[in-house]
Structure 1
Amino acid sequence: MPESEPLLLTQFQYELPDDRIARFPLAQRDQSKLLVYRAGAIQHKSFSDLPGLLPEQSFLVFNNTKVIPARLHFTRTTGAVIELFLLNPVSEGDNDELPISQAMERTGSVVWHAMIGNRKRWKSAETLETTLTTPTGNVIVKADWYNQDASTVRLSWEPAELSFAQLIQFAGEIPLPPYLKRDATDADRLTYQTVYSKEEGAVAAPTAGLHFTDAVFAELTARGIGHDYVTLHVGAGTFQPIKSEDVRAHHMHTEEVVYTTENVRHLLAHLDYIIAVGTTSMRALESLYWMGVKLLQSEPDPFRLDQEYAYQWSVTERPAAEAALVAVLKYLTETSRSAVVAHTGIYITPGYQLAICRGIITNFHQPSSTLILLIATLIGDDWRTVYNEALTHDYRFLSYGDSSLLLP
């Protein structure tokens, strides 16, 4: 990580009153407020105004992941409730990651790494079981420890011909962010998804996209503003607060991301005009650049990126964005792949220079979070001015809150 000057946690804190946290969404997605920051100047608009506020030739990149009902509850014979919060699937036998798309297609059983609520009550040899009533009949779901030390659990079900994607819709609950401090409702199954969500596997929504509607997309098209979708399956680590005094000591979580050949071609065609819709899209785009750099350097495992790699390069020495993307496109073409599954632990902090993104559309984030660091990387100390403006003008904060367009 960069060593030029300390990055202290106190530099990324602000006072967020509890009543400014939006616990429920607005009735109409695109009627949220939109704070526009453009080279230091600030305007207050409605999100429905967004298409007319974007720079000409802007190209938006969305994250089309879909939130799965990742919370499962089992009741022991004693009455104790065990909660499983599914994090990521693992391959049986070696405990390596299993691509989420493959896990969703599994029938009969699958193994997941999970956070376990009431863990001490669940005995090592005990099978948890529940029976669900569904429109097509009863479904029996069982949970057993797969590797207790590794917090992996085997889920099995009957009828076995159901896919895991089908099962989870019956068995699970939408995992709302902990800061909402409420139980999920049936309405959240719709409102905590973007209208363009497609690829199942996230345990948190890419919330910057929650404001987009068919009407906003139609206006973007009418103005000639193009867009594309990457898939980054948002993990629970996105809510993990920074606890170390030096923010560089924070351990950044890793998330699965899928890039297609078409993604790379679109990025190359619009390289100077790319705006990320959300912090997860920005993570995905910046990660792709560094994966291209790893390919240029003939490094092993180029599609796995840790949080340190980007900081090994000076800005003057690192390859151009075009060269990195061309390397990725060459790899996909030579290996006859239409897509690649990658894993990124990129940690974007002040001192990092963005390679792909020229701006971002994003919500207002928690104090002392890695997401605040990302915003500070983009607009410097002005992040504090932006957040003060939002607080002063009664903006709603966090997942179901209002939005911002940040153009440095």
Structure 2
Amino acid sequence: MRVDLFDFHLPDENIALRPAEPRDAARMLVLPPGGAPFIDEAVLSLPDFLQAGDALVFNDTRVIPAQLEGVRPRDGLSVSVSATLHMRAAPDSWHAFLRPGKRVKVGDDIRFQRLDADDLVATVTEKRETGDVTLRFQFSGAALDTAIATVGRVPLPPYIASKRDEDSRDLIDYQTIYAKEKGAVAAPTAGLHFTERLFNALDGKGIERHFVTLHVGAGTFLPVKADDTRDHVMHHEIGTVSAETADRLNAVRARGGRIVSVGTTSLRLLESAADEKGKLRPWQGATDIFITPGYRFKIVDMLMTNFHLPKSTLFMLVSAFCGLETMQAAYKHAIDKGYRFYSYGDSSLLFRKDQ
């Protein structure tokens, strides 16, 4: 499909720079099934649209401080380098985007200063066709995690970072309350709306909660540069669906409950792990699933998600879920009604269109 079909104009004032307070006070645009009129609601009303026996599926990845600032010394000169780690390649190695990247060579060392210890040093071992590099550090495993946490910053999305600096509030705001498994460089933002108050309301209605892990990478913010979706190369992300979670979600479907994905990251992982008959299998590994209109969903019935960027793979995904014309109308409604967009913005609740 033509990528320009997924374009739209978003005024700057619709881009959220801070989350709603409290988190569950964010607005939620509900797109009912069957072409019924849109409903303007709040996230706290989510239980009203679910039934006992439905299951919410959350991504429990935890954002790490993956934005590193360093220098590349060579021939007596030092050049400032900014590195955004986006996917772990080995216990001692990460794939990363560098700025500036073209002037960095394989074999270069990049030094990231630590105030209380020796510098964290990474060697460029590969320049990849995808435009990123592989960095090998002098530490490995947990020791490397600790060093990165010491020198790194929260990598705010570019549409926020271009308008304000990261601060101490983001250390809390840009993390779900159930974040557990370290490894993401971007938050699964649909989950940022959940609070203990909302969890209690969901529990009271008999709605199940299950967790999968997909370590969201910086590639989620990369623009689609191709003119046609067939020419776009999707980024990889590492995920896990345990055998226990797969069994429990299969049991939900078997008794007629609905699978409600909290966020596109959970959805991409669930759809990667499901077979053609809609049975969920245990999964561990990388997925580069690219969902565009025409895709037949195998397991997810409903999707709770924030509002996405124009011409992004995520807007393509929600257009596949509900239909392109429906999502174009929904986004126009959201913009006209002053909904807040992107990572810290408001939410939507989508029902899958008939396939």
Matched, 1:378 2:304: no
5+ long unaligned stretches in structure 1: 1-6, 91-97, 104-109, 293-318, 330-339
Amino acid at match of 2:86: L
Cα separation, partners in 2 of 1:148 and 1:367, compared to 1, 3 Å: closer
Over the matched positions of the two proteins, sequence identity in percent amounts to 39
Structure 2 residue 49 is matched with structure 1 residue 53: yes
Separation in structure 1 between the aligned mates of residue 100 and residue 336 of structure 2, nearest angstrom: 41
**What is the SS of the residue equivalent to 2:138?**
strand
The count of corresponding residues between Structure 1 and Structure 2 is 338
Q: Summarize deviations over 1:27-61 as a string: whole Å, max 9, x none.
A: 32111111111122211111112122224422100
Q: 1:251 to 1:219 in 2, by over 3 A?
A: same
**5 Å matches for 1:250-289?**
250-271=232-253, 272-289=257-274
Per-residue CA shift, 1:210-263, capped at 9, x if unaligned?
100111111111111001000011112211222222222211112111110111
The question of 1:64 aligning with 2:60 is answered yes
Offset at residue 187 of structure 1 (A)? 1.7
* Residue in structure 1 matched with residue 277 of structure 2 by the alignment: 320
Deviations 1:86-141 (A, max 9, x none): 12222xxxxxxx3xxxx3xxxxxx122211112355565553334423xxx43431
1:193 paired with 2:194, answer: no
1:140 equivalent to 2:140? Answer no
Residues 80 and 121, structure 1, Cα contact 8 Å, conserved in 2: no
Structure number with larger C-alpha Rg: 1
Q: Normalising by structure 1, report the TM-score.
A: 0.78
State the alpha-carbon separation in 1 of the partners of residues 201 and 320 from structure 2.
30
TM alignment of 1:66-105, pairs within 5 A: 66-76=62-72, 78=77, 80-90=79-89, 98=90, 103=91
CA RMSD, Structure 1 to Structure 2 (Å) = 2.1
**TM-score normalized with structure 2 length:** 0.89
Task: Identify the residue that residue 16 of structure 1 maps to in structure 2.
Answer: 10
Distance 1:164 1:49 in 2: 42
SS at match of 2:40: strand
Paired with 1:125 and 1:231, the residues of 2 have a C-alpha distance of 33
- On the 8 A contact 1:82/1:122 being kept in 2, the answer is no
Q: What is aligned with 2:228? A: 246
For residues 320 and 112 of structure 1, the distance between their equivalents in structure 2, rounded to whole angstroms, comes to: 36
Task: Give the C-alpha shift of residue 342 in structure 1.
Answer: 1.8
Please say if residues 106 and 125 of structure 2, whose CA atoms lie closer than 8 Å, have aligned partners that are also in contact: no
Q: Which residue of 1 aligns with 2:158?
A: 178
Distance 1:364 1:132, change over 3 A: same
The aligned amino acid for 1:320 is K
Establish whether residue 31 from structure 1 lines up as the match of residue 25 from structure 2: yes
Q: Which residue of 2 aligns with 1:345?
A: 288
Q: What SS does the aligned partner of 1:262 have? A: helix
Q: How far has the Cα of 1:280 moved from its partner?
A: 0.6
- Partner of 2:19: helix, strand, or coil? coil
8 Å contact from structure 1 (residues 9, 246) kept in 2 = yes
2:141 and 2:268 map into 1 onto residues whose CA distance is: 36
2:16 aligned counterpart, secondary structure: coil
| TM-superposed deviation, 1:273 | 0.5
Match for residue 155 of structure 1? 137
The question of whether the paired residues in 2 share the 8 Å contact of 1:125 and 1:145 is answered with yes
